[in-house]
């Protein structure tokens, strides 16, 4: 935008300067020419009274020498008898002199080296003398080039000044726009406290105020949502307390111990949910390998009870991801929970961590019946198994938050394979990538 403003200012100012400069330059040249011709004509007319009084060559020569043109040897008097005063300074041809006498008034004609002003003077007995004043080309353009240079310098200064002003205005606008864009990117990155001091053009000031109002409203909505989620999670404590009392009454056998241990884990998960939802959200990072080890270890207890085989592959070394650990854990829990809800007991599953160049993939495969319609399964709130239909959507949003994506394929175990691919460096979605994501989502529907 800054460059555009500078180019527009340069083009407009240049056109205006040329519109005034070209006619003014031509006018200056004509003024210089008219000034030289007027001076020559005035000097030629000064010899008219002398020619009327006397035709003595000596007197005429003194009169010619008294003028500026005569002193410079640029004036000649052509007498009716063919004589010249002084001799040898004439540049006009005989035909041009005859034409001047025929016209009876002064006129200018082209001669070698410049122009000649021919002024006829009527004498007695119908005779006519012609006064010739020679004007070199440099006299006709004297001072023109200097004037043109000054006008060009003034025009260039005006153009440079306008471009400088446009550049400063553009810089101010760009600075305000960039600050607004950085604040929006930071807000999208999870810095909910970021605000801007609106400045710049009135439109950008209004945009800044609207951004601040929007940010305040979003913070209020998120706070209300977190409190509601915390309250809903807190309500689980009552049935958990009842379960714990019932579990304490089961006795001391192995089944009772496993039940109490499961209740303890469930209570810890509820406490974690309450603490998480009350804490403001923000971007972060985690070790995907550690998260997968923790979550697979948690689900392996239930898998053992149901006779399911459980395997974790590729989680031996660290795998950093630009996503909070709680979000990744929620996505993995959603995928593993779907296996337990939608496949029969005894169905095995495997979780694979794959680290590529610039991307990291988490593949969750099972040996169940698979997913008949992957596109429909990715629709938020859509489920053919009687669940909420949010599990796959949670995993998809976790992957896309890093610029990645989620895919559903057939696994080597015979069932479904959910692939979450994450970018290892988090970037705010660009306009082009956002359009691609929108087209991708539309193509799924």
Which stretches of 46-143 are DSSP H helices? 48-53, 57-65, 68-71, 94-103, 137-140
Q: Among positive and negative, which fits the CA dihedral 311, 314, 315, 320?
A: negative
pLDDT band at 440 (very low <50, low <70, confident <90, very high): very low
Which helix (H) or strand (E) covers residue 110, if one does? strand 107-111
206-231: burial string, b at 16+ Cβ within 10 Å, e else = ebbeebbeebeeeeeeeeeebeeebe
Which helix (H) or strand (E) covers residue 365, if one does? strand 359-366
pLDDT band at 233 (very low <50, low <70, confident <90, very high): low
Angle between helices 325-342 and 391-400 (to 10 degrees): 150
Do domains 2-145 and 284-444 share one topology? The answer is: no
pLDDT band at 232 (very low <50, low <70, confident <90, very high): low
288 SS3 class: helix
What confidence score (pLDDT) does residue 427 get? 46
Half-sphere exposure at residue 180, Cβ-oriented, CA atoms within 13 angstroms: 21
What confidence score (pLDDT) does residue 428 get? 47
Task: Provide the residue ranges of all domains of the chain, joining segments of one domain with +.
Answer: 2-145, 284-444
pLDDT band at 278 (very low <50, low <70, confident <90, very high): low
pLDDT at 350 over 90: yes
DSSP 8-state assignment for residue 358? S
| Terminal-to-terminal C-alpha distance of the chain | 38
| pLDDT tens sequence across 140-195 | 888 888 888 888 888 889 888 888 888 877 777 778 888 888 888 888 777 778 88
pLDDT at 114 over 80: yes
Residue 405, classified by CB atoms within 10 Å of its CB into exposed (0-12), middle (13-18) or buried (19+), is: middle
| Nearest alpha carbon to residue 351 among 291, 392, 311 | 311
What confidence score (pLDDT) does residue 234 get? 59
% of the chain exceeding 90 in pLDDT: 11
DSSP 129-162: EEEEEEEEHHHHTTTHHHHHHHHHHHHHHHHHHH
Query: Could you tell me which CATH class the domain 284-444 is placed in?
Result: alpha beta
What confidence score (pLDDT) does residue 433 get? 44
Is the whole-model pTM more than 0.75?
no
Between CA 369 and CA 31 the distance in angstroms is 99
Whole-Å CA distances, 382 to 335, 340, 341, 364? 15, 18, 15, 20
Write down the architecture of domain 2-145 according to CATH: 2-Layer Sandwich (3.30)
| pLDDT tens sequence across 385-429 | 544 456 788 888 888 888 889 999 888 888 899 999 998 864 444
| pLDDT tens sequence across 27-67 | 888 888 888 888 888 888 888 888 888 888 888 888 888 88
312 SS3 class: strand
Cis peptide before 86 (omega within 30 of 0): yes
| pLDDT tens sequence across 354-384 | 998 889 999 999 998 888 777 777 775 455 5
What is the number of other CB atoms lying within 10 angstroms of the CB of residue 306?
12
Which residues partner with 14 through β-bridges? none
pLDDT band at 297 (very low <50, low <70, confident <90, very high): very high
Half-sphere exposure at residue 244, Cβ-oriented, CA atoms within 13 angstroms: 12
The two structure tokens encoding residue 20: 């005034």
% of the chain exceeding 70 in pLDDT: 84
pLDDT band at 431 (very low <50, low <70, confident <90, very high): very low
Per the model's pLDDT, the better-predicted residue between 186 and 440 turns out to be 186
**Pair 373, 433: CB distance under 8 Å:** no
Per the model's pLDDT, the better-predicted residue between 75 and 246 turns out to be 75
**Pair 81, 127: CB distance under 8 Å:** no
Whole-Å CA distances, 31 to 27, 68, 339, 420? 6, 20, 97, 83
């Amino acid at each position: 935008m800054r460059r555009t403003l500078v180019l527009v200012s340069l083009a407009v100012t240049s056109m205006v300067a040329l519109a005034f400069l070209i006619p003014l330059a031509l006018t200056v040249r004509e003024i210089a020419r008219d000034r030289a011709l007027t001076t020559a004509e005035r000097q030629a007319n000064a010899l008219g009274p002398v020619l009327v009084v006397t035709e003595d060559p000596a007197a005429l020569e003194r009169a010619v020498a008294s003028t500026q043109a005569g002193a410079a040897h640029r004036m000649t008097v052509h007498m009716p008898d063919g004589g010249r005063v002084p001799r040898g300074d004439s540049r006009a041809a005989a035909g041009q002199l005859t034409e001047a006498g025929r016209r009876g008034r002064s006129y200018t004609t082209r001669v070698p080296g410049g122009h000649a002003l021919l002024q006829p003077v009527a004498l007695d007995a119908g005779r006519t003398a012609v006064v010739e004043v020679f004007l070199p080309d440099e006299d006709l353009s004297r001072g023109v080039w200097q004037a043109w240079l000054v006008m060009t310098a003034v025009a260039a200064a005006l153009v440079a000044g306008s471009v400088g002003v446009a550049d400063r205005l553009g810089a101010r606008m760009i600075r305000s726009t960039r600050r607004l864009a950085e604040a929006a990117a930071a807000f999208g990155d999870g810095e909910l406290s970021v605000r801007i001091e609106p400045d710049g053009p009135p439109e950008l000031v209004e945009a800044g105020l609207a951004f601040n109002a929007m940010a305040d409203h979003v913070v209020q909505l998120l706070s209300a949502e977190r409190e509601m989620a915390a309250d809903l999670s807190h309500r689980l404590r009552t049935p958990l307390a009842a379960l714990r009392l019932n579990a304490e009454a089961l006795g001391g056998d192995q089944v009772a111990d496993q039940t109490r241990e499961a209740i303890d884990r469930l209570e810890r998960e509820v406490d974690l949910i309450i603490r998480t939802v009350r804490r403001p959200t923000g971007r972060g990072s985690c070790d995907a390998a550690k998260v997968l080890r923790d979550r697979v270890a948690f689900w392996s207890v239930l898998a053992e009870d149901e006779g399911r085989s459980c395997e974790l592959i590729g989680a031996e070394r660290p795998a950093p991801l630009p996503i909070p650990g709680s979000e990744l854990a929620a996505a993995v829990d959603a995928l593993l929970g779907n296996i337990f809800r939608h496949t029969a007991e005894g169905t095995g599953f495997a979780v694979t961590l794959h680290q590529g160049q610039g991307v990291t993939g988490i593949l969750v495969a099972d040996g169940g019946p698979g997913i008949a319609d992957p596109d429909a399964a990715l629709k938020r709130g859509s489920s053919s198994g009687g669940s909420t239909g949010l599990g796959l959507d949670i995993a998809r949003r976790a992957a896309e938050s890093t610029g990645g994506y989620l895919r559903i394929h057939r696994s080597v175990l015979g069932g479904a394979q959910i692939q979450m691919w994450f970018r290892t460096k988090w970037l705010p979605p660009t306009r082009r990538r956002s359009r691609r994501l929108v087209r991708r989502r539309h193509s799924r529907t």
